[in-house]
Structure 1
Amino acid sequence: MSVLKELYYGNINPHEKRVVSNLEFEKHVKVILENEEKLSITLKNEEKYLFEQLLAAHEEVSSLELLEYFIEGWKLGSRFMLDTFII
């Protein structure tokens, strides 16, 4: 099956690919999780709600940013492909 058909039928999902872990990545994730847990325990109702809203907004911004990177990467790859046929 062609790549375009695979994409059309939903068999290609780059957003579901797990980030390859390495020590530096794992170290930063650990710091995030530990601090998030500590803050969740110590914050009161209103503060906890604001913190959760901050996390949700940050996650949404990161998702939108990753989408833009994906689109730019796709466009760049397409330009490489076009250059291949033009040369």
Structure 2
Amino acid sequence: MADFHFELVTPERQVRSEDVYMVVVPGTEGESGIMAGHAPMMTTLKDGELKVYKSASAQPESIAVSGGFAEVGDKGLTVLAESAGE
């Protein structure tokens, strides 16, 4: 499956902007695995970890996030978090 664009932004800075294989988002209603072709959606985030997979066989990279929301649209996945650490 093709890669898609992922952006992680906080009020202070843009943390990430890259093409990835999959991102697992810690939503308040459960975790969601987002890949290319995912239906448009929006969810609020709970404090937790984004898991970023750069390829199908890669080990995930975890990024701690707190608060905010995630939106999947035509341009990929945008995560607007209150804070994010690596």
Structures share fold, TM-score greater than 0.5? no
Q: TM-score, structure 1 length as denominator?
A: 0.19
RCO higher in structure (CA 8 A, sep ≥6):
2
Q: TM-score, structure 2 length as denominator?
A: 0.19
Task: Work out which of the two has the higher radius of gyration on C-alpha atoms and give 1 or 2.
Answer: 1
